[in-house]
Chain A
Amino acid sequence: MRRLIPIVAVVLYLFPLHVEAQSYKTETGHAEFESEVPLHTFTGISDHLVGLIDLSDSTVDFYIDMNTFDTGINKRDKDMRRTLETDKYPFAEFFGKLVSNFDTTTNQPQQVTVRGEFTIHGVTQDLELTGTLQKTADGLKVKASWTLNIEEYDIEPPGILFYRVDENQDIQIEATLTPIESDTDA
């Protein structure tokens, strides 16, 4: 019996996912930002938001390749990438924990709070967000929005000659995360 203990331990260590439930992931989440310049606003959208939520340890991990944002005008996209220095800092990312309760027994949207670190343009700041999380037939549906002051991340609002982009950008994300396949085995 005592010999079996390390063997079981090795097996459990090598195949932890089979007992680790409640992990959800997406690679096609939706993210958008709205920018204001004098006389009009424009929106950048991307459907390449990657996200992982692990309810077993409350991990919340999201990132997006900034080059995937599309504002409708190539020239404006290029200017955005230049401003964000996406060659040097390709990702915007959040890594933190779910700090409020989430009841997995109901299918109703629930307000939840996450706390962690948000990084963009190579600058990391603490961030606490409130959004909604909902258990659905497909997995977990997440929605969140907040206002990002880009100057806090050393991003200089582009402005030359006639216009200047507002430093406050409204961010929204929406994604449905599906159970990680191996979790369903558990």
Chain B
Amino acid sequence: MLKKTTLLFTLLIFISFSARAQMERERVVQEGPVEETFWAPGLIGMSTVEVIGHKNINATIMHSFGLINDEPLHNFLGMDFGASVRLGIDYGITDNWSLGVGRSSPQKQYDFRTKYALFRQTTTDNVPLSITLKGDMGIDTNKNGYSFGDRLNFFASANVARKFNDQLSLQVSPMISHFNTVFTGEEKTHFALGLAGEYHISDRYALMAEYLPVLGERSEGTANAFSVGLNIETGGHVFQLFLKTSDWHTEQHIIAQNDDKFWDGDIRFGFNVNRIFWTGEKQ
């Protein structure tokens, strides 16, 4: 009996020396901001809570064409009217703060904008919402004899969003626009409550919609802007194809200077292209 016991333990010792098992594989726990509440820093015309990473540049090309319902066949669904275009770049100063500049064809407008992430929803849900502040100042550069101050317009919003799961993200954005100069009888300041959503139908495609109802006083004829579209995520680019009302790409104009009504058929086709570049050291 003793010999057997000795043999058994000797065998066990031998095994423990001769065959080291693989280490147990353990995942690295990374608590951090939820990634990609939205696929791009902007949806159709609205900014999202998405911020641009440190030293990243997001280049954006935004287009919208003429009204589809204006002799659709003759005007090729509004394409013949030409495009309203905004070209822009935004740069990530930090992971939470970006600065941007853009140029829109309507009113030959330049705009300068900034976005700052106050809170970012975390993977552990310790922070359940993402909140960003966004500001934009536009300058009308038409040859119209206006003073510099009269050419200015402003926008500010607080974007509050939650990514509910891998498919659905929703955003609410109280916002204000102000124009230093308006036509007689128009309101200089408009308040609105932007509502936006993105629903991922696959890794590459997502549906999106945004609605910007004006709250309180509004200039006569101003209509609430509505847009719906499709995101296509290619890894390098995010393409956004959509149907929208306003031909503007800056939010102060979308909420204050839109008189087209989506449900009356005042719809335009448009598309945005977003491309992110890394400008840090080679990585």
Which A positions have Cβ atoms within 8 angstroms of B?
2-3, 5-6, 9-10, 12-13, 16, 20, 41-43, 45, 48, 50, 52, 54, 56-57, 59, 61, 63, 65, 67-68, 70-76, 78-79, 82, 90-91, 93, 95, 158, 160-163
Contact = CB atoms under 8 A, between A and B. Distances in A.
A9 B35 CA distance: 54
A13 B236 contact: no
A8 B12 CA distance: 13
Contacts of A52: 23
A161 B36 contact: no
B74 interface: no
A6 B5 contact: yes
Contacts of B26: 50
Interface in B94-123: none
Contact of A158 (B5, B23, B235): B235
A43 B234 CA distance: 19
B18 A73 contact: no
Nearest to B19: A57
Interface of B: 2, 5-6, 9-10, 12-13, 16-20, 22-23, 25-28, 30, 35-36, 39, 53, 55-56, 203-204, 233-238, 276, 278, 280, 282-283
B235 A76 contact: yes
Nearest to A65: B28
A161 B232 CA distance: 11
A67 B35 contact: no
Given A6-B5, A161-B236, 6 more contacts: A16-B13, A48-B28, A61-B23, A63-B23, A75-B233, A75-B236
Contacts of A61: 20, 22-23
A61 B203 CA distance: 34
A45 B9 contact: no
Given A43-B283, A57-B20, A6 B53 contact: no
A153 B55 CA distance: 33
A158 to B, nearest CB: 6
Given A67-B28, A73-B56, A73-B278, A6 B6 contact: yes
B213 to A, nearest CB: 31
Chain B at the A interface: SS class: loop
Contacts of B18: 57
For the complex of A and B, 5 pairs with smallest distance between CB atoms: A9-B9, A79-B235, A72-B283, A65-B28, A59-B20
Contact of B237 (A45, A50, A93, A162): A162
Contacts of B204: 160
Given A9-B6, A56-B17, A78-B35, A91 B25 contact: yes
A129 B57 CA distance: 39
A74 B35 contact: yes
A163 B236 contact: yes
A68 B27 CA distance: 9
A72 B278 CA distance: 7
Contacts of B36: 74-75, 78
Contacts of A5: 2, 6
B5 A72 contact: no
B13 A12 contact: yes
Contacts of B238: 75
A164 to B, nearest CB: 10
Given A50-B23, A82-B203, A160-B234, A42 B283 contact: yes
B231 to A, nearest CB: 12
B205 to A, nearest CB: 12
A52 B25 CA distance: 12
Contact of B9 (A10, A42, A54, A56): A10
Most chain B C-beta atoms within 10 Å of own C-beta, residue among A50, A57, A74, A160: A74
Contact of A71 (B2, B6, B17, B283): B283
Contacts of B16: 13, 16
B283 A67 contact: no
Contacts of B236: 75-76, 161-163
Contacts of B39: 75
B32 to A, nearest CB: 11
